[in-house]
Each structure stands twice: as C-alpha cells, then as structure tokens.
Chain A
Amino acid sequence: MTLGLTIAILGGALAVILGGVGSAIGVGLAGQASSGVMSEDPEKFGSLLLLVALPGTQGIYGFLSAFLIILKLGLTGGTVASPSVFQGWQILIAALPVAFTGLVSGIHQGKVCASGVYMVAKQPKDLMKPVIMAALVETYAVLGLLITILLLNGISL
C-alpha cells in the first residue's frame, strides 16, 4: 500500500460519503413531507414515491464515481495499481466535483421535492411539473458527475 493509493481511495470514499449524505438528507426531507400527505390520502403512495426517490440520484452518482475509481485502481481483483502521491491527489481532486455538487444539490433537490409533494397533494394531475423542477436542481449534480468522469478518464496511471 502506497500513500498515493491511500489518497486515491480517500477520493472514492469522499464521493460516496458526500453524495450519499446529500441524497439521504434530500430523500429524508421529501419522505417526511410525503408521509404527512399520505396520512390524509394514502392513495397517493405511487406518485409521491417518485418525488421521494428523485433526490436519491446524487448518492448513486457518488457511488458510480467511486466505482470508477475502484476500477481504475484495480481494487476489484487482479493487480492493484500503485499510483504516485501526485496521482493519488489527482484522483482525490477528480472526485470532488461529484462529491460536493452531490452534497448540496441533494439537499436542495430534497427541498424542491418536499414542496412538490405538497403541490401534488393539492393538484394530483400535475405530478410531472415538480419532477421537472427537481430535475433543474439535479443538473448540477449531473454536471459534477460529468466532470468527475472526464477528469478520471484523463488521469493516466
């Protein structure tokens, strides 16, 4: 185990942790709101589930980036790469876009989804409108993911 490898692993861990935290908070916010609505109207479970699940993507993006790092480092099996300290830092930094955009956009998407849940409670036919609103927030997590993937692709070990 080299220091470079350790730093690179820290990068993967950060992507999962921060993305996951953002999604957990976001899904939590939307989940609370939808449970409140369902206490009045249990029939709405299906449509509310969509809104609650939506802020979950940030966690998946973090997980996905970490998996790409794992593949890059050869940690799934076979020979483990031994990146230099610089390369390790490079991988860690490449993980930061998805980590931080995931953290912040997950929370805010959760807020948008929670208010979308209240909207669907009153206007059940307009389900897709709050979904689109939430997708506007998610854009930044998608862009973070994109840059992380491109950066990881650019780093040669």
Chain B
Amino acid sequence: MSIADVQKVHIVTHVGLKKTFIDSLQEEGFLQIEKADFETLGLSTPFADVTTVEHQLHRLSHALDYLSQWEKKGLTEKLFTQKPQISSQEREDILCQDFVPLLDQVDNLEKQNNDIESHLRFLEKEEEFLRSLQDLVLPIKSVTDTDSTEVVMGVMSLASFNELSTETEDEAFCSHVISQGKRDVHLLVVFPKSQKEQFRQILKEKDFNPLYFTETILKKAGEQGKVTDVIQAIEEEKAEQKKKLLLLQNKGKELVPSREQLMRIHDVLLNEREKRLASRNLGETSQAIFLEGWIKTADIPRLEAKLMPFSDLVQCYFRPPLPEEDPPITLENPKIGKPFEIITKLYGLPQRGMLDPTLYLAPFFFLFVGLTVSEAGYGLLVALLSFLYLKFAKPKGGLRQFLTLMGILGVATVILGTLVGGWFGFPIRKLMILDPLEDPVSFLILSLALGFIQVWFGTLINLILGIRNKDYLQAIFVQGGWLILLPSLVLYALLKHSFWGILALVGAAGIVLFASPSRNPFSRFFGGLYSLYDISRYLADVLSYSRLLALGLATTVIAMVVNTLCQTALGIPWVGWLFAALIFVGGHLFNLGISFLGGFVHSMRLQFVEFFSKFFKSGGKPFKPFALEGKYVEFL
C-alpha cells in the first residue's frame, strides 16, 4: 500500500565475529550495507582481495559456456526446467570441494578439441593443394633441380600459357602440363641453368606462380611416393583425427552432467565475492568492526533476534533517516497489487515523502487494458497460459510478477471483452452492454468519462499530498479549486443549471486567488488567472483517453476481418476448411499479439503521462539488501 519504512542502522561488533556476522547478514538478506564513513570516524578500510575469486569465476563461466554446446534440451524442457536448489549446508560443502581438477579437465578437453580442429583444417588445405597436382605421375622427391637444369612447378592462367607456348619456341625450354582447368594450367617447367635469368624473366612476365611442396608433404611422400599416395595418406590421417574428435565429443557429452555441479560452484563463489566486496564497506579497528546500513523497520526484530546470541559482543543503534538523507525505497503492497508494481517501477520509484501510486493505478490499468484489447477470447488465452505456466514452471522473481500481471490483465480482458467486444470476433449480444461498432459515440463518452475520473482522482491525490506536506493553502484552494471546477463545468455544460455554474466559479476563484505565490495583488491575480489556462491541459489529458475507443475498435475490427477471410477461404473447394483453420489461428494469434502490445503500452502511457503528471514525482533509489543471489541456482 505504501513505501516501506526504513531505518538507518549502525552496528559495532568484535572483529572476531566478522565472518559469522557477514555470513548471517547475507543469508538473511534484509540489510542494505552502506559505505561506512571511514575518514570522519578515523577507521581503516579493510581491503578484501577478490582477484582469485574473479579468476575462478571467469574460468567457471567459460567452462559452463563451453559445455553447454553438448547439452541438448528441447524447448519445453528449457521452458519448464527449474533452477537447482542449494541449502546452506550444501554451500559449506561446496566451498570445501576442490573443483579445479574438473575445470582442468574441461580446459584440457577444449584444448585438445581445438588442436585437432586446427590440424584438420591444415590437412584439408594440403589436400586441396595436392588435388590440383594429382595428375603428376612423377614421384614427388624427383621434382627437383638437376645439375644442369632447373625444374619449376607452378600455375598460370590459361591465356598466358597459350601466349607462352606460342611465343617461346626455344628448344631449351620445356614445359609439361600436369592438369588443365577452365581458367588455369598447372605445369612443370624445365630449362637449363645457364639460361635461367632469361627464362625466369619470361615466366615472371606471364604471371607464372611457382608452387613448392611443403616439408610435411615431402616427408609423407618418402623416396618413391607420388601425389596420389600423399593424398591417400592425408585422407587416412583425416579419418583418424575425426575419430579422435568424435571421442572427444563423447567425452564432452559425458561431462555435461557435471555442468550442474559447476553451476552450483559458480553461484556459491559469486556470493563469496559479494561478501568480500561488501566487507570493503565496513570500518575496522584492531578490535572492532563498524557497519552502517538501511533496514526495513519491520525487519528490525528479525535482526535483533539474529544478533541475540552475540548480545554481549554486538551493539546496534537504529534511527529514522535524517532530513538530508536519501533513504532507499521499497514498495509494499498486498498480494493482488504486487504485480502492478512493475508499472510503477518502470516509471521510477517514488521520491522520499511521496506515496506509492501502485494501488491507485491498478484498477484503472485493469480497466484500460480490458477496454483496449476488448476481446474475451484473447484474454482467456493469455490468462490461461500465464496461470498454467506459473503453476507448472514456477518461475521466480521478475518473470513471476510479470506473468501474474498478464494473468490479471487476461481476466480483465475476458470481463470487458464480453461486455463490449466479443469472443474471437463473435460478439455475444446478450451479454453486451455496449457495441462500439454500432454506437461508437457512447463508447467514446465512456472512455472520456473514465479519463475524467482518473485525472480528477490524480488531482485529489495531489491535494492529499499537499495537506500531508503542510502546504494547506495551495492544496485546499488550488487543487481543491480544480476538483470543484472540473466536474461542475462538465455538469453545467450538460445540465445548464446555474447552480453548477456558480460552483464552477467558486472553484475558479480559489485557483485565481491562491495559485500564484506572489505578494503583489496584481501579479497574484493575473498569475492566478493565467494558471486557469491549465484547463486546456486537463482537457487535452481527458481527450487523450479517446485512444481506449480507437484501440478497442481496432481489435474488434481486425478480429472480424480474420473471420471474414475465413469465410471466404471456406468457399475454396476441398481444402477450404484447412485454409480457413490456418487463417483463423494465425490471424487471431497475430491480432492477440498486436492488441495486447498496444493495449499494454497505451494503458501504461495513460498512467505515466496523464495520471502521474498530476501528483507523482519519481527519483527514489531502490532498496537493495545484501543477500544471496544466484545466476544458475536458487538458495534456500
């Protein structure tokens, strides 16, 4: 219902209790540790080293990522797996475990795997090179210079080769084509060493690209081996390496079950690191440690009970936040209102002294999403899916809240969809109170009326806040003035009764006389008169709610379009029903998606822009208690 009360807590305890103390604080998770004011207190800062832990965490998350490639999980399995749970006893056990051998094993596996893969790549390159030369019938070793001739193997383009053979008619120059492709020619060139300068020049001009056998190929070829022999040898080696790779892959698959163990270790270490980081915020002397933090007033008895066993060694002081302090904000709402906190948090937590708007926006948001989606069938689907997922997958944290909100909004859509929309494009006339297609004007009036109520309500909250902050004149005369002026103007316009006109004038008078803080009567009067101009803002705000009609109609009409298309498809002979079914399912799912997105986003905008602007100021810092947090596992 409101912002939780928090208090500043100062704790002094004996240095020997430090570890137990921090451990139990993290386990309880109700205290937000602040950096103690070391300098003024003349305390030292204990510096806890986290580099080793961070290095281990880095290795762990790398191993987890690496092993995940062998973990095959179906979509449903992924959706419905729950995080493994760890008790505090297990945490202790994990800290004593030596997990480095397991990590080494994973690292080793990765290294071997990479080695084999790069070796395979190398072999494939060699093979590709040899494939172009496989028609060479000479043993590889024999392709080498003799005493008087130079033997060069190489590749050149077909065009240059043709030029070469026509231009060079020297008998001393001999070329042998190994293979001829579409564009290039692999050849063996032999010429006497005495003329080597001349022939080398010619070859260079023709873009002859010399090729040489590598050391490894020469080694594989031996004395008599030919190119084809080497290719075969490489093939055999590749097969062998692939076999090894397969073995390694199997080993990897065998390691997958230990992933869960690694996850546990990772999260336990993660919290060890947090503990060390938190201890950096503590002040320390040779005998005592000093801690400063925030705690919810409701949790103080829990903290005291926790510290009871050490009462002769621990001193606790509590005090409410000082005016210049900026205490962290946490919202407290009953179960039904809790999911709507998502909306408040998205805009920003309330400032200190502000109230929590969650419960005030909840009924409006409920109505608005219902009206903008206004399709009971879609609402039923969304509500069912959300609640079923909540029941069977038991998600935690933000997702849980979001799905609960979606479920509630689904219910809203079922109710309002039945009243003003339909079920998958088919209206149930008996249950409808208003058909927006037949009578859009009434629906428009309904939308504007809801808007008027919310804007008026926002102004009322502002009045209450003003009174709470002892700003009586402004609150009662200006905000009160608007509260009287707005409805009486509407009633006067509708009923033309002079009573409402006079009441409107009374409200306006309050605004004119008290809106301006100036002491000069003239500038006060005209300043007040000017603030009456705000009425245009109120008008614009209320008109903005007309989107409820437009979005609601859009859903209804698109649902109708889908059904019309289905009917047309049914006319196709033989397979008409199939097309109709596809269009029905696909079309309605599409409409569900866009209408919920639109309904959600626009209803949210109405809260933020039209409602919050009347009274709400955000800017609070969130309350982040020092607690056990898991990335992969859940701590009990």
Contact = CB atoms under 8 A, between A and B. Distances in A.
Given A64-B561, A136-B605, A50 B550 contact: no
A72 to B, nearest CB: 12
B598 A143 contact: no
B553 interface: yes
A76 interface: yes
Nearest to A144: B550
Contacts of A132: 346, 601, 604-605, 608
Contacts of A76: 564
A93 interface: no
Given A60-B594, A67-B561, A76-B564, A146 B546 contact: yes
B622 to A, nearest CB: 12
A145 B561 contact: no
A50 B444 CA distance: 29
A6 to B, nearest CB: 23
Given A67-B561, A139-B544, A150-B444, A131 B553 contact: no
A135 B602 contact: yes
A153 interface: yes
Interface in B253-310: none
| Interface core residue of B546, B551, B554 (most chain A CB under 10 Å) | B554
A136 B609 contact: yes
Nearest to B549: A146
B444 A60 contact: no
Contacts of A53: 594, 597
Contacts of B601: 131-132, 135
Given A60-B558, A68-B557, A149-B440, A142 B604 contact: no
Contacts of A60: 554, 558, 594
A60 B441 CA distance: 22
B186 interface: no
A150 B554 contact: no
B319 to A, nearest CB: 33
Contacts of A138: 602
B8 interface: no
A10 B328 CA distance: 60
A131 to B, nearest CB: 6
A149 B594 contact: no
Given A68-B557, A129-B346, A132-B608, A146 B550 contact: yes
Interface residues of A, number: 27
A86 B382 CA distance: 45
Nearest to B437: A153
Contacts of B594: 53, 56-57, 60
B346 A50 contact: no
Contacts of B608: 132
B564 A64 contact: no
Nearest to A56: B594
Contact of A64 (B346, B558, B605): B558
A128 B605 CA distance: 11
Nearest to A68: B557
B226 interface: no
Contact of B547 (A128, A131, A143): A143
A135 B561 contact: no
A145 B550 contact: yes
Interface in B609-624: 609
A66 B346 CA distance: 36
B557 A142 contact: no
A100 interface: no
Contact of A145 (B346, B444, B554): B554
A150 B549 CA distance: 10
A89 interface: no
A149 B439 CA distance: 11
B298 to A, nearest CB: 28
Contact of A139 (B346, B547, B561, B564): B547
A64 B557 contact: yes
Contacts of B604: 128, 132, 135
Given A50-B597, A135-B602, A139-B547, A61 B554 contact: yes
Interface in B576-611: 594, 597-598, 601-602, 604-605, 608-609
Interface string B383-420: 00000000000000000000000000000000000000
Contact of A57 (B561, B564, B598): B598
Contacts of A61: 554
A145 B556 CA distance: 14
B346 A128 contact: yes
Contacts of A129: 346
B547 A146 contact: yes
A20 B317 CA distance: 65
B282 to A, nearest CB: 29
B603 to A, nearest CB: 10
A149 B553 contact: yes
Interface string A95-115: 000000000000000000000
Contacts of A56: 594
A56 B441 CA distance: 27
Interface string A76-100: 1000000000000000000000000
A41 to B, nearest CB: 15
Contact of B440 (A54, A135, A142, A150): A150
A131 B601 CA distance: 7
Nearest to B547: A142
Contacts of B550: 142-143, 145-146, 149
A100 to B, nearest CB: 16
Contacts of B609: 136
Nearest to B555: A64
B122 to A, nearest CB: 29
B564 to A, nearest CB: 6
Contacts of A128: 346, 604
B361 to A, nearest CB: 14
A136 B561 CA distance: 27
B399 to A, nearest CB: 13
Interface in A120-157: 128-129, 131-132, 135-136, 138-139, 142-143, 145-146, 149-150, 153
A114 B432 CA distance: 41
Contacts of A131: 601
B444 to A, nearest CB: 7
Interface in B533-564: 544, 546-547, 549-551, 553-554, 557-558, 561, 564
Given A136-B605, A139-B544, 17 more contacts: A50-B597, A56-B594, A60-B554, A60-B594, A67-B557, A67-B561, A132-B604, A132-B608, A135-B605, A139-B602, A142-B550, A142-B551, A145-B554, A146-B550, A150-B441, A150-B444, A153-B440
22 contacts: A50-B597, A53-B594, A53-B597, A54-B597, A60-B558, A64-B557, A67-B557, A68-B557, A76-B564, A132-B346, A135-B601, A135-B604, A136-B605, A142-B550, A142-B602, A143-B546, A146-B444, A146-B546, A149-B440, A149-B549, A150-B440, A153-B441
Interface of A: 50, 53-54, 56-57, 60-61, 63-64, 67-68, 76, 128-129, 131-132, 135-136, 138-139, 142-143, 145-146, 149-150, 153
The 9 closest A-B pairs by CB, nearest first: A146-B550, A135-B601, A142-B547, A142-B550, A145-B550, A135-B605, A64-B557, A128-B346, A67-B561
